[in-house]
Chains A and B, each alone.
Chain A
């Protein structure tokens, strides 16, 4: 708050009202409802519900399918996060180096930011088309008989590639702006101290980028967990079957298609706890320990 604030009584309440009403109705009410219904078993025909305590959670922990989806989600998240961060970092470092055409490269590399995940999934379907998809043909040329939607690992690979393609631009923008904010004097000092470019990168540039990197790490994990929904939904063509899926997709499939409200709510609550943990981790680590400026 500003020291010299206004002291009107009703105006600030009036100003806050729209925001508070909207989040009360569309945030707190649903969130509370999710927590509440995770303790109930919903009658499949809609004749009320019975309190079952922690049963929905116990079911989840003992459910082999759920655990394997959770495991897939972990691998998927690690792959997407690692690949999109490292590709973006490489490109940002190069784009920061070049003198000519830097702006053109920046434009070419960042436009995909604006592509919606399901549209990216659609483009993925075209690229991995069974009979003439360019990437299918590329895989075949190295002896990999790529079968999207049939082979579990192939479908998962395609999902990772599409998700990375969609996520590289935003990481690139952040890394580039991080690199450009490194003071010229620091760069020149490093240039005198260390003649090798890779040595300079790991000793000076990389640590200076760490705050940006940690911020992006959390953003990318959140992206892989939640925003890839559209990619997955288009790539499995709305028919999950035996295709790979992430936890968020499972919430949707169970709750919206399978009408298992209690189980789906329990899954939602698990995800909420996961996100809360991530955010707390982010605040503690990023705010306290990695601070160079």
Chain B
């Protein structure tokens, strides 16, 4: 907070001396709004982060404070390697592994299936092309949440409860990636496929040697968005996984919260650190690949 304020003062000061330039109040106002906005976004995380460094007893008494304690390694050990449930399976490490499997599996599955379907729709003359198009894109209309119970029953009938397939495949059953790649493929110049045909390249060769390399940026953008989406799934994993060794971090958050209600000393250190660990991977992906991510997001949804 003090740093941010100092930023404003610096900025204001740099405009006054040495030549008597006018202070640009408008710019200062802009920065003030942005700083308040950034604090609104950042402070909750910083407080949770601070609370992972002090002993639980202190948290229970005072809540978030300005002291940075030395408890982080112990809390890390507790969060990652000790289980809170009955089975002893839901260690942070295990949940982290499941989260990665869900995030990466979902993103890869979605991209692979979406690209194949979009390629078929855009580049082939088919008798049922229009029908296929509508059958696929109707799925964009109904989110999983409104058909959650019957979907659960289907997965149960197929015996896929508490499996990675049951977790990932039903989530892939919507056409967002297909739609995105369809839009992109349509913007690829027509001459490319004509040239490829003249050179004698078949559809498979054209796809693998020309279209896939051409879509690299799009694939990366889609991967980031889908990874974050898969990682952050909550309702579906809550229903499909009942065994603790299948919990993802985000699914485990409810149990983490309930630990805070127990009779023993609530384990704030563990809970807060697990929340932070659940946040870090998707946030890092979004921040480091910012430009791809923004491009993918703003182009896919329009």
Residues of A within 8 A of B (CB): 1-8, 11-13, 15-16, 18-20, 22-23, 25-27, 29-31, 33-34, 37, 87, 90-91, 94-95, 97-98, 100-101, 105-119, 121-123, 125-127, 129, 131-134, 165, 168-170, 173-174, 177, 197, 215, 219, 222, 226-227, 229-230, 233-234, 237-238, 248, 251-252, 255-256, 261, 264-265, 268, 271-272, 275-276, 279
Contact = CB atoms under 8 A, between A and B. Distances in A.
A116 B63 contact: no
Given A87-B37, A215-B302, 4 more contacts: A7-B124, A125-B257, A234-B253, A251-B148
Contacts of B193: 2, 4-6
A173 B302 CA distance: 13
B215 to A, nearest CB: 15
B149 A12 contact: no
Interface of B: 7, 11, 26-27, 30-31, 33-34, 37-38, 40-45, 47-48, 51, 61-64, 112-114, 116-117, 119-126, 129, 132, 135-136, 139-143, 145-155, 158, 169-170, 172-175, 178, 186, 190, 193-194, 197, 202-204, 206, 228, 231-235, 238-239, 250, 253-254, 256-258, 260-261, 271-272, 275, 278-279, 282-283, 285-287, 290, 294, 297-298, 301-302
Given A114-B283, A123-B44, A31 B147 contact: yes
A119 B190 contact: no
Interface SS of A by simple majority: helix
Given A27-B174, A174-B298, A265-B150, A119 B250 contact: yes
A110 to B, nearest CB: 7
Contacts of B254: 118, 233-234, 237-238
A12 to B, nearest CB: 4
A111 B278 contact: no
A205 B276 CA distance: 38
Contacts of A94: 30-31, 33-34, 37
A223 B40 CA distance: 20
B11 A100 contact: yes
Shortest beta-carbon contacts, A-B, top 7 = A132-B63, A30-B150, A116-B232, A114-B282, A26-B173, A12-B124, A15-B120
A119 B37 CA distance: 20
Given A26-B170, A126-B51, A33 B154 contact: yes
Given A23-B173, A109-B37, A252 B120 contact: no
A251 B283 contact: no
B221 to A, nearest CB: 13
Contacts of B150: 29-31, 33-34, 37, 265, 268
